[in-house]
């Protein structure tokens, strides 16, 4: 039942953006709006559930894509598989992507519980990058300290330099997907797949994957 509500809610997200309406969801299910309160204490809790689900299905897709590459040492290939999987997932459920990576929903504050699910995708990326050869980077002190703190919380054997390059690549990846998804490529680039691959290539160079 909870699953059915979430499915319908996801359909509404797709149609109306983040303006998710409990009443509309209930209507679609042939129920009265108050009935949903048996399953979710409030609209924000439904939103939170959807956010966590989104992070998790993205995480699933990304882990599957990485796991699907037999040659574990071919880091560049794994990078491409993961990058493409992220984009494919985003294009397939744009509103869920916007929910987790788009402009924040007004008045909604994501609770702590989302953090773990949110971390799954970056972790896969960083595991790949951890295998890259060291490539010098002049990281300013304060940034180095922030990154060192991040390394400490991760169960990955990654150098500060790798993490610096990796986090930047991850941000570029996010940028590339968002730019396309939020319509900024419209009337400019039509060969979207190829353009994205071109960017993946440049990012792979940036992190030093061979």
Partner DNA sequence: TGTACATCAGTGAACGCGCGTTCACTGATGTAC
Q: Tell me, what DSSP letter sits at residue 31?
A: S
Q: Tell me, what DSSP letter sits at residue 113?
A: T
**Per CB under 8 A, 164 contacts a second copy:** yes
**Considering beta carbons, is residue 99 or 118 the nearer one to DNA?**
99
**CA–CA separation, 12 vs 22, rounded Å?**
10
171 binding partner (options a second copy, DNA, none; Cβ < 5 to 8 Å by kind): a second copy
Sequence-ordered list of residues with C-beta below 8 angstroms from that of 46, at least 6 positions apart, any chain: 5, 6, 9, 20, 22, 25, 36, 40
Extract the tokens encoding 9: 């809610």
Among 7, 14, 42, 184, binds DNA (CB under 7 A): 42
**CA–CA separation, 125 vs 75, rounded Å?**
10
**Considering beta carbons, is residue 30 or 183 the nearer one to DNA?**
30
119 binding partner (options a second copy, DNA, none; Cβ < 5 to 8 Å by kind): none
Extract the tokens encoding 102: 């788009």
What residues from 188 to 207 belong to the interface with a second copy (CB under 8 A)?
188-191, 194-195, 197-199, 202, 206
User: Least distance in Å: CB of 129 to a second copy?
Assistant: 14
**Per CB under 7 A, 8 contacts DNA:** no
**Terminal CA-to-CA distance of the chain, rounded, Å?**
48
Extract the tokens encoding 28: 């679609």
Residue 131 parent element (H or E): none
What residues from 82 to 111 belong to the interface with a second copy (CB under 8 A)?
98, 101-107
Which chain residues interact with DNA by CB under 7 A?
A: 1, 20-24, 30-35, 37-38, 42-44
Which chain residues interact with a second copy by CB under 8 A?
A: 16-19, 98, 101-107, 137, 139-140, 142-143, 145-147, 150, 164, 167-168, 171-176, 178-179, 182-184, 188-191, 194-195, 197-199, 202, 206
């Amino acid at each position: 039942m909870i699953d059915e509500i979430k499915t319908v809610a996801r359909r509404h997200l797709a149609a109306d953006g983040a303006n998710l309406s409990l009443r509309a969801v209930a209507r679609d299910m042939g129920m009265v709006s108050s009935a949903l309160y048996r399953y979710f204490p409030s609209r924000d809790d439904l939103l939170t559930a959807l956010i966590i689900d989104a992070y998790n299905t993205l995480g699933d897709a990304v882990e599957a894509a990485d796991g699907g590459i037999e040659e574990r040492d071919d880091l560049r290939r794994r990078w491409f598989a993961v990058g493409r999987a992220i984009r494919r997932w985003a294009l397939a459920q744009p509103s869920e992507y916007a929910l987790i990576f788009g402009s924040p929903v007004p008045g909604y504050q994501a609770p702590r519980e989302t953090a773990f699910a949110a971390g799954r995708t970056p972790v896969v990326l960083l595991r790949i990058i951890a295998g890259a050869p060291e490539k010098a980077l002049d990281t300013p002190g304060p940034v180095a300290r922030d990154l060192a703190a991040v390394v400490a919380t991760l169960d990955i054997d990654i150098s500060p330099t790798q993490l610096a390059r990796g986090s930047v690549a991850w941000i570029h990846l996010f940028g590339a997907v968002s730019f396309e998804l939020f319509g900024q490529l419209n009337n400019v680039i039509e060969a979207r797949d190829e353009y994205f691959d071109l960017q993946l290539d440049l990012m792979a160079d940036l992190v030093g994957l061979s």
